[in-house]
Copies of this chain bind each other. A is one copy, B any other.
């Protein structure tokens, strides 16, 4: 079984899907000859040509808007937004148009579009090359949001996303692109959207995370194991639809929950999970629902002293786990 990085897994999956289904096209800024600024589409232009791998003008609203149109006329576009930070010019097309086409047309039109975008901090990207933007989209009915954390998951989830008949936002953490390697089978497997993964079983505290934080959560769990704290770690993988059952079952078991997200704290994605647990798992809670999050400043600052201050590390998760376990 091949061992590869997250970016290699994504690149190969895009190539596979384009070979399998000629209605799949890739479009975005610099996705052609350059192969994307992170090389996620490297080689696709050479193999599939400029008709199916389109270097677009520097216009995100157009990238998404044209993908919507192409998707109602027989194609399955997989647009790339160069950085998640630059998805906002396309916000109206995503929220007002892409998400609502099926509902507003009473089910007579639909948009099989998968928007890929690199997100996340810790890469010296500063305010505009570091953002976590998932919370803006997980709030929107009609959209699905996926955040893979391993090469294996990335492949299975990206396949499902591209084959899905509804729009999917697929956010890839930049820091994981080359830092994480893993086994990826040749087989045409898929991972259904909407299923979280228990990546470590435990009894005392549940830690919920996704993306880069899913790795840090596992590291934190290792670090406290010696102290006799048994941590269950869940990698959510799909943020919407949320796998309520897996999350709630775990918290019913442990009675304690830490939610980790890199984004700004106030109104971040994890707030919804806390709200769900506080309503539907209240009777099982043996302690407060603790959030470990990014601070409430407008972006990840550039200077490494400030960036280190902003970013979550495993130790901060450890501290939260200890405190909650002792509660």
A298 at the interface (CB under 8 A from B): yes
A95 contacts B by Cβ under 8 Å: yes
Q: A85-B96, A103-B127 are in contact. List 7 more A-B contacts (CB 8 A).
A: A88-B92, A91-B92, A103-B299, A104-B127, A139-B266, A278-B285, A279-B289
A269 within 8 A of B: yes
A297–B277 alpha-carbon span in the complex (Å):
22
Nearest 5 CB-CB pairings of A with B: A139-B267, A274-B275, A282-B288, A88-B92, A278-B278
Q: Does chain B have a CB within 8 A of A38?
A: no
Rounded to whole Å, the gap between the CB of A281 and the closest CB of chain B is 9
Q: Mark A140-152, 1 if CB is under 8 A from B, else 0.
A: 1110000000000
- Within 8 Å of chain B (Cβ to Cβ): is A271? yes
Q: Does A264 contact B (CB under 8 A)?
A: yes
Contact across chains for B298 and A100 when beta carbons are under 8 A apart: yes
**Hey, what's the 0/1 contact readout for A7-20 against B, CB within 8 Å counting as 1?**
00000000000000
Interface size class of A (residues with CB under 8 A): 35 or more
Shortest Cβ distance from residue A294 to the other chain B in the assembled complex, whole angstroms: 10
Q: A278-B277, A278-B278, A279-B288 are in contact. Are A264 and B141 (CB under 8 A)?
A: yes
State how many angstroms separate the Cβ of A110 from the closest Cβ of chain B.
12
Query: Looking at chain A's contact residues, is the secondary structure mostly helix, strand, loop, or mixed?
Result: helix
Q: Which one of B91, B104, B280 contacts A299 once the chains associate, using CB atoms below 8 Å?
A: B104
A224 within 8 Å of B (CB atoms): no
Q: Is A240 an interface residue (CB 8 A)?
A: yes
Closest to A93 in B: B88
Q: Quick check: is A290 within 8 A (CB to CB) of the other chain?
A: yes
A49 within 8 A of B: no
B267 touches A278 (CB 8 A): no
Proximity bits, A96-114, B CB within 8 Å = 1, else 0: 1001100110000000000
Interface: A272 (CB within 8 A): yes
Sampled A-B contacts (20; CB under 8 Å): A91-B91, A91-B92, A103-B298, A104-B298, A135-B139, A135-B267, A136-B136, A138-B266, A142-B298, A242-B266, A266-B272, A267-B272, A271-B271, A271-B272, A271-B275, A274-B274, A275-B278, A275-B289, A278-B288, A283-B288
A287 at the A/B interface (Cβ < 8 Å)?
A: yes
